[in-house]
Amino acid sequence: MRIESTDLADVLLLTPDPFRDDRGLFTRTFDAEEFDTHLGKPGIASGFVQDSQSRSVRGVIRGMHGRSGRGEAKLVRCAHGAVHDVLVDIRPGSETFGRQQAFLLDDTDFRHLYVPPGFLHGFQALTEVADVCYRIDRPHDPAEDLGVAYHDPDLAIAWPQPVTVVSPRDAAAGSWRELLDHLTPRS
């Protein structure tokens, strides 16, 4: 497995090395020991406590979601189909605060992202069906939910396809400016 840094501080892109033959392929999608060795922090991978999966149809956008408080770390991968995955750094002290980066996650290259606490996350399904799997390091607490509208003009995320469906929650999400006020309250 290849583990690479990205343009966003502390975000990692993990790319497995599938074995392909006439039957198809086999790949290890995650190796906790290799991951922890790369980070130099034993036990990080064993901290994941929840696995979730979503299924979306072409054009669906899920996001932009985040968590307040301690936040949450997660591994994100697309098990079937392809998605345009977007991260935005919302850590006020970070060198990449406010920056965004997009990644293609698909069932061909099996890349997945390690997203540390303190990021907004969202994606758009690029294929007829896209299954996204999330491995999360702590239980979900709805009281800590943060969100920014997927079409917020200040974020200006370039979604690659026409939007087909967005949940009522995501459609009603706040703005980037409101989130900034929440993250950095004025004294």
In the block, residue with structure tokens 């997660």: 74
**What is the C-alpha separation between 140 and 179, in angstroms, rounded?**
19
Question: 71: left (phi > 0), else alpha (psi -120 to 50), else beta?
Answer: left
Instruction: Judge contact between 159 and 68, C-beta under 8 A.
Output: no
Q: Residues 147, 119: contact at Cβ < 8 Å?
A: no
Query: Residue 112 catalytic?
Result: no
The catalytic position among 134, 140, 150, 182 is 134
Of 85, 94, 150, 92, the residue nearest 112 (C-alpha) = 85
> Which is the catalytic residue, given 38, 65, 80, 151?
65
How far is it, in rounded angstroms, from Cα 3 to Cα 82? Answer: 20
Per-residue tokens: 176:
């980037």
Query: CA Rg, the chain, in Å?
Result: 17
Q: Is 65 a catalytic residue?
A: yes
The set of catalytic residues is 65, 134
